[in-house]
Structure 1
């Protein structure tokens, strides 16, 4: 009987510790995309993005690279990879806006495709430590 009480107490403590714990790390709060079209406005030439990130952790993080993760279909249509080297620091419980632009093959992506299909899956953030964090969008 005593052993059962101890087991119940341990299970209770584990469950309450797990449920009250806040999510830590970097999360995305909002995503904004913009498109720059060709002169005839039929195709998209550039995709811009702005992502608001928030550090829910207790330590500041130093970001050295930001790489947008595109869907497989969209990644095949990138003409020129962007220079994604940055020098950003996001403090504990602070927010940061990350912006970038991707150049697409100007005859590959129509406006209709951009509206109907998902473009971004997330962001890969490379930290100064070498660790890569995937942030879903």
Structure 2
């Protein structure tokens, strides 16, 4: 039970720390009320836990007024049932079948693929990043 709740709370903590006021309003209340389940996607097929830049494969690139996200995330806790800042109903987002695990069956994990997913600035934690000077 703790593992299920842990991922849910880590998402809320990250939105609190890095999110905009609009993201706080959009995501924190539903997470706190339990109307959505939280998840965050950090692990990638070739990435080590330190997520060195050479290993990161999922990348969002600015394209005009939008961001285009491509890549894959691996073993994402709660992904088969979760709400993300990147809406899983968007074209190009696919959540895989839940992994078959020997234990911890309360916390579903699956891969998530992003193929040319168009995102607005409000899908980025904290909004649009500052441009380098």
Normalising by structure 1, we get a TM-score of 0.34
TM-score between the two structures when normalised by the length of structure 2: 0.35
Greater per-residue strand proportion: 1
More helix by share: 2
